[in-house]
Amino acid sequence: SAVISQKPSRDICQRGTSLTIQCQVDSQVTMMFWYRQQPGQSLTLIATANQGSEATYESGFVIDKFPISRPNLTFSTLTVSNMSPEDSSIYLCSANDGSYGYTFGSGTRLTVV
Amino acid sequence: EDQVTQSPEALRLQEGESSSLNCSYTVSGLRGLFWYRQDPGKGPEFLFTLYSAGEEKEKERLKATLTKKESFLHITAPKPEDSATYLCAVQAGSSDGGSQGNLIFGKGTKLSVKP
């Protein structure tokens, strides 16, 4: 199964700033996904990122707030822009490597102060 | 609308006390049902994928089963190290017969096993 390295693992940021989260997969994958997990809640899909095309965002999430890059089949970034305390959450990337299924990164715990 | 509901929200067991977690789903064309374990501060860890009603899979003290409307995660003689949040997720099919790609998650069951 694919292994995903996600960083940073945690960060404390000032409101109004931006943070970029990186995910590196140890094999080529077609689809990557970005989720948000708010305290005590389950995972909510932010967007789907396919290499060579614009990310597809779920209702309630917009590109200006959560720009995503997918430059190749092993890497993706999610930026949380103009942060507010409401953005404090765990952000997770995931990849579908086809035969095995869905693997997740270890998550980024973001606190906005 | 595709939906996944897990129950109970929290479950406290004594070591060795077997029980089951429930995941009921409403989805247009189930492509797969997934169980994950999530420890605090970590990403979900894959446990099982089930694809069709009647299918069962086992791993150590865990056994997952699937019907057309729900899945159960049975925990036999649990140990304190089984304490975690267990997440259920489904992959739905799309109108063109393909997959929607992403997973739809339930809110999870937080399991605590006391020695």
CATH number at residue A15: 2.60.40.10
Return the SS3 of B12: strand
Q: Does B98 have pLDDT greater than 60?
A: no
Q: What is the pLDDT of residues A32-58, one digit of tens each?
A: 999 999 988 889 999 999 888 889 999
Contacts of B32 in chain A (CB under 8 A): 101
d(CA A39, CA A90): 8
Q: How many domains does chain A have?
A: 1
Q: Does B9 have pLDDT greater than 70?
A: yes
* Domain membership flag for residue A82: yes
Residue ranges of A 12-41 with Cβ closer than 8 A to chain B: 31, 33, 41
The beta-strand segments (E) located in A1-113 are 4-7, 10-13, 19-25, 31-37, 43-50, 56-57, 68-72, 75-80, 89-96, 102-104, 108-112
Tell me the pLDDT band of A100, cut-offs 50, 70 and 90.
low
The domain ranges of chain B are: 3-110
Tell me the pLDDT band of A11, cut-offs 50, 70 and 90.
very high
Range of the domain at A19: 4-102
Assign domain B3-110 one CATH number from 2.40.10.340, 3.40.190.10, 2.40.160.20, 2.60.40.10: 2.60.40.10
d(CA A58, CA A60): 6
* Domain membership flag for residue A107: no
pLDDT for B65: 98
| Interchain pair B43, A45: CB under 8 A | no
Residue ranges of A 63-92 with Cβ closer than 8 A to chain B: 92
